[in-house]
Each structure stands twice: as structure tokens, then as C-alpha cells.
Amino acid sequence: MNIIQTVLPALPYIQIILSILLVAAILLQQRGSSLGGAFGGDNFSSSFHKRRGAELFLFKFSIGIAILFVFSTLLNIFA
């Protein structure tokens, strides 16, 4: 419990940093579909898209940051 007591004062700052990183990671990702798909147009290129390289890293990075953000939020609520 001593670790939780030392982390609690810094938790809001950690959450701010994690939220900025999460927004940046999501905004840097390539868009998967075009606007034509929203209006009923066929977009076959987005159906068979495989992430590679930097796009795969950003995808996994955003998932990891989102999990850390949720964990820090739950720690803030229950502590």
C-alpha cells in the first residue's frame, strides 16, 4: 500500500501525459476507409488492408496507452 500512496499525488499528471499520448497516437494513424463508404459506396481496398511497419506500431502503441490510461483511472477511483 505504500507504493499506492506515493503514486497518488502524481496520478493526475500521469493521466494527462497518457491522454496526450493516446490522442497523438490515434491522430497519427492512417485512415482505413474513405468517405465513399459512409454513403454506400464500395471500398474494397479497406477490406483487405494489413497493417505493417509504423502503422502496426502505432496501432499496438495506442492499445497499450489506452490500457494504461484505463488502469490509471481505475487506480484513481478505487484508491
Question: Which tens digit of pLDDT belongs to each residue from 4-39?
Answer: 888 889 999 999 999 999 999 999 987 755 555 555
CB 6 within 8 A of CB 67: no
Q: What is the mean pLDDT of residues 31-50?
A: 58
pLDDT greater than 90 at residue 45: no
Q: Is the pLDDT of residue 66 over 70?
A: yes
Is 67 contained in some domain?
yes
Flag whether the pTM goes above 0.85: no
Please check whether residue 76 lies inside any domain of the structure: yes
pLDDT, average across residues 54-66 = 94
Nearest to 59, CA basis, from 32, 34, 19: 32
Domain assignment of residue 41, yes or no: no
Q: List b or e across 47-57, with b for residues whose CB sees 16 or more CB atoms inside 10 angstroms.
A: eeeeeeeeeee
56 lies in which domain range? 10-29+51-79
- Number of domains within the chain: 1
